[in-house]
Structure 1
Amino acid sequence: MKEVDAQMVLKLHKISGEPVANCNYLLTQTNGDYELALTILQRILAQRKTDQAGEGGGPGVLPGPDAPESTAQSAPDEPSAIEALENRVLQLELRLAQLTDTLVVVSDKLSQLLDKVSGDE
């Protein structure tokens, strides 16, 4: 496992335009494999581009379960549906990682405050 460093995260961020937290999470999940992380991110960005062109859902937004089906397709394209689901799962995992990181920071700050209050008494 390669160690993820800030330079790798920033390089991935600059290339993709993705938030730094997402880039960091992706590199962590790929065990520091920059090339694999870049490949996955390129696939995600390509899927977003396809979604924007086909559904008009906005940047990185996948259609929800209540979204109307496209009238341009006469039959469902199963590989695209599977890719969209994989993309959505990855997005949810990235969001979960961000929330987890935030929770850790808040927990640490609360612990520091409690230590301060306990030390003052």
Structure 2
Amino acid sequence: MRHSFYCFALFSLLGAAALLGQDKTPPAKLVLKAKTGNVTYDHAAHAKREKNACPVCHPKLFTQDAKAPVAFKPPHKKHEDAKASCGSCHRAGGTAFETKGNCTNSKCHVKATERKG
């Protein structure tokens, strides 16, 4: 009986230490690489807009992994019609601006400017 208690206590402590060791703080911003210009995703602003209700997007639309690829590749229209990925909100009639006409006007894709010498 005493042995079982000590094993339970040891595993409980190990589990608690593992949970404390995990970094659960989401990134404030993510930079998504794209040929047409990188997209800086403001995670903090999106989370605030949803009142930090993570299940609105995770895991339904996105995995909770900052390194996971985002399934919102051209043509965006098919993702918008399916209300998938970014197109869940960023579509005609969605809760955010639609992608059409907002590709390179600083709302989404921004190409890095080259510095002159």
Same fold (TM over 0.5): no
Which has the larger share of strand? 2
Give the TM-score, by structure 2 length. Answer: 0.29
Give the TM-score, by structure 1 length. Answer: 0.28
